[in-house]
């Protein structure tokens, strides 16, 4: 009997430790970080939110024992970007898996495009059909059923506006859109929970409405995952792309400025010295038409269209002495 008590005591201690450990993980958001060598099946079994991401990429179930990298390669998906996406909603810093500079923006944008289609063309219409089915046994001319449908449509419109802003690159409206969506959702749920009329004549009406509410809450979780990917991956990646593009453009301009031919430099010096096209042509033994062509090429390459600007350029590049 004494041995049994010790076993029970040990079991209780282990259970207490495990519960505290799980609570600590949840409180401090210390989640598992998935790697390319992990099995895709383990990811899907351990994190149901990953199913949303996998589905948006067109990856079907039946992944067998293949690794995440193998499945991604089969579907032409950039593995580091995929890993950053499945780890980000877990509260993990995406840099722990994939640096922002290594994110493949086309992969990310294709995912978001597919997610938008899922919300607008599948999930929201499906919820609306279920909602109509749930309130159909009631008098549709009544105020509450019509208000429920009206509030749902307003909630959908806020989501459409949010997605429209994303598609147009208006990321600065993100937080405002989220507040409007949350407000409309709260109005809808409060109306259903407080005032939805019970109908004993139709035994499954309450079950149907409960299914709708569960679906709405599921949609809210999916939108939260969607927004986490936008905030932690898309926005930083777009910002970095803008900086890189700006630097490339600047470097390209500087490179163009270094590519004047020797003849173009001779023409440039003539212009800076105040010579006319005819005088430059006579000096270089060229036609006036050729001089005009050289001047157009100089202006295009240097992106300088005034004599004063060309003079400054010539001085800075030591083509003339002051």
Quick one: pLDDT at residue 305? Answer: 85
Average pLDDT over residues 64-85: 92
Q: pLDDT tens across 10-60, in order?
A: 554 555 554 454 444 444 444 578 889 999 999 999 888 888 889 989 899
State phi, psi for 291 to the nearest 5 degrees.
Answer: -65, -45
Confidence class for position 248, pLDDT limits 50, 70, 90 = low
Residue 197, pLDDT above cutoff 90: no
State phi, psi for 270 to the nearest 5 degrees.
Answer: -60, -40
Question: How far apart (Å, rounded) are the C-alpha atoms in residues 225 and 75?
Answer: 22
Which CATH class name applies to 259-316?
mainly alpha
Quick one: pLDDT at residue 263? Answer: 93
Q: Which of the pair, 120 or 100, is modelled with greater confidence?
A: 120
3-state secondary structure of 67: strand
Average pLDDT over residues 183-196: 89
Question: How far apart (Å, rounded) are the C-alpha atoms in residues 249 and 251?
Answer: 5
Sketch the domain layout of the chain as residue ranges.
1-30, 33-98, 105-245, 259-316
DSSP label at residue 96: G
Confidence class for position 226, pLDDT limits 50, 70, 90 = confident
DSSP label at residue 34: P
Instruction: Please give the C-alpha separations between residue 198 and each of 138, 143, 145, 215, 216, in angstroms, as whole numbers.
Output: 9, 14, 11, 20, 20
Average pLDDT over residues 161-171: 79
Average pLDDT over residues 186-211: 80
pTM beyond 0.75: no
- Write out the two tokens for 73: 């390669």
Task: Reply yes or no on domain 33-98 having CATH 1.20.950.
Answer: no
Question: How far apart (Å, rounded) are the C-alpha atoms in residues 282 and 250?
Answer: 36
Confidence class for position 294, pLDDT limits 50, 70, 90 = very high
66-70, 76-80, 125-129, 167-171: least confidently modelled range: 167-171
Residue 230, pLDDT above cutoff 70: yes
- Burial of 6: CB neighbours in 10 Å, binned 0-12, 13-18, 19+: exposed
Confidence class for position 64, pLDDT limits 50, 70, 90 = very high
């Amino acid at each position: 009997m004494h041995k049994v008590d010790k076993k029970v005591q040990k079991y209780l201690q282990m259970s207490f430790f495990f519960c505290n450990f799980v609570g600590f993980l949840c409180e401090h958001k210390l989640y598992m970080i998935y790697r390319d060598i992990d099995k895709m099946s383990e990811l899907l079994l351990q994190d149901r939110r990953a199913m949303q991401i996998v589905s948006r990429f067109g990856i079907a179930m039946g992944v067998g024992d293949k690794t995440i990298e193998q499945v991604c390669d089969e579907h032409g998906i950039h593995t580091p970007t995929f890993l950053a996406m499945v780890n980000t909603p877990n509260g993990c810093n995406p840099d722990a898996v994939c640096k922002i500079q290594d994110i493949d923006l086309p992969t990310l944008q294709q995912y978001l495009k597919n997610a938008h289609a899922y919300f607008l063309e599948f999930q929201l219409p499906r919820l609306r059909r279920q909602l109509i089915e749930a309130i159909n046994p009631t008098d549709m001319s009544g105020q509450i059923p019509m208000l429920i449908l009206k509030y749902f449509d307003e909630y959908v419109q806020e989501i459409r506006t949010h997605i429209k802003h994303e598609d147009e690159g208006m990321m600065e409206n993100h937080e405002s859109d989220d507040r409007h969506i949350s407000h409309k959702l709260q109005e809808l749920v409060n109306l259903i929970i407080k005032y939805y009329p019970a109908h004993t004549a139709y035994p499954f009406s309450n079950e149907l409405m409960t299914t709708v509410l569960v679906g709405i809450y599921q949609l809210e979780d999916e939108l939260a995952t969607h927004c986490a990917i936008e905030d932690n991956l898309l926005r930083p990646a777009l910002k970095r792309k803008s900086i890189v593009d700006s630097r490339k453009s600047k470097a390209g301009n500087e490179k163009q400025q270094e590519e004047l031919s020797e003849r173009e430099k001779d023409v440039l010096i003539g212009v800076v010295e105040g010579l006319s096209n005819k005088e430059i042509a006579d000096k270089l033994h060229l036609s006036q038409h050729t001089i005009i062509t050289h001047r157009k090429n100089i202006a295009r390459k240097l992106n300088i269209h005034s004599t004063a600007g060309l003079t400054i350029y010539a001085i800075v590049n030591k083509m003339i002495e002051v």
